[in-house]
Amino acid sequence: MTLISTSALLLDEVARTGSIRKAAERLNISPSALNRRVLNLEADYGVKLFERLPRGVRLTAAGELLINDIRRWRADHERLQVQLQEMQGLRRGHVTIGIMECLAGSFAQTLFDEVQNRFRGLTLELFVGGTRQLLQRLMAGELNMVVCFNAPPQPDLTKLLSFDVPAGIVIAPGHPLAGKSAVRLSECLEYPLILPDFSLATRSLIDRAMASVSASPVPSAVTNSTRLMKQLVRDGRHIAFLGVVDLLDEINEGSLTFVPLSDGRLPQEALALVIRNSQPTTPAVAALQNLLRSQLLALPLPSVEAE
């Protein structure tokens, strides 16, 4: 339960992303429905809250005043929730979470730090694995929730949050394509490639994308290791195809660069927070669901318009 209205949360997400479409993806609603909510709020207040730009939206002066108030309300409400959790004993319990390998760095560290700061009596168990393994453990009752890519629909599973992660390339900061905001697949073919092997699902997607531009490049290297792909592109010449979530730590460090693909040749991957419907939701589990959801929504995902 939250005292902050849904409309306030929607406005805040649009302001944070600067895009109706991107905010709608993160909130798991349609862009048209979100745009109607914004227009209705503007009509209610009698002022424009956002300037409509060719590639997104920007807060007006009135919008900035309202968003600043909303964010103060949210901060106050979060403090209130912590106080209520302390009173109700939500700082006790044990929660098991499954995550992908790509989230086992700074993302997991931030989650652990937040749990330690806000729920000191709660113990957190993190299991790292692939989508199939994580979902199997979730269905078996061994995990309370999982974060994974491309979770298939299953009757006893619910996605609390799901949004698309742009496909793109990983390159060294000094690579000729590093200064671009987005690239086409055909541009990548001018450089030597590091490709995943056929044990990884992305290889078949890459091969289909290559076929769509009548290309059959010979890779410089093939590997089933994401870590090795990231290492091999550091020479400043090679390109590998990865999702931005695979590079969170390297982007923060400035050691590698992610450039999204703009032509839609490679499909986006859906990152989801998944729970089992038949599992009882304890106060500790509910608190971690909310914390994990907030952290996922804060991921720095680029927005790219299709060509």
Domains parsed from the chain with CATH numbers: 6-85 (1.10.10.10), 91-163+269-297 (3.40.190.10), 167-260 (3.40.190.10)
Q: Which residues pair with 297 in a beta bridge?
A: none
How many CA atoms are closer than 13 Å to the CA of 58, on its beta-carbon side?
Answer: 5
Tokens at 95, concatenated: 């929660």
First to last CA, the chain: 41
**What is the identity of the amino acid at 256?**
L
| CA angle 211–215–218, rounded 5-degree value | 115
Per DSSP, the three-state class of 109 is helix
Q: Which residues pair with 240 in a beta bridge?
A: 170, 194
Q: Is the pLDDT of residue 148 over 90?
A: yes
Segment 202-261, tens digit of pLDDT: 888 899 999 988 888 889 999 988 899 999 999 999 999 998 888 888 988 999 999 999
Segment 42-78, tens digit of pLDDT: 999 999 999 999 889 999 999 999 999 998 888 788 7
Tokens at 280, concatenated: 């009882």
Q: Measured between alpha carbons, how far is 294 from 86 in angstroms, rounded to an integer?
A: 20
- DSSP letters, 113-179, are HHHHHH-TTEEEEEEE--HHHHHHHHHTTS-SEEEEESPPP-TTEEEEEEEEE-EEEEE-TTSTTTT
Q: Is the pLDDT of residue 121 over 70?
A: yes
**What is the identity of the amino acid at 93?**
G
Residue 305: the pLDDT is: 45
Residue 166: the pLDDT is: 84
Assess contact for 283 and 89: CB atoms under 8 A.
Answer: yes
Which residues are CB-neighbours of 292 under 8 A, at least 6 positions away?
97, 111, 145, 147, 273
Which residues are CB-neighbours of 58 under 8 A, at least 6 positions away?
18, 50, 51
Tally helices (H) and strands (E) across the chain. 11, 12
**Overall average pLDDT of the 28-45 stretch:** 92
Residue 1: the pLDDT is: 46
- CB neighbours of residue 270 within 10 Å: 15
**What is the identity of the amino acid at 85?**
Q
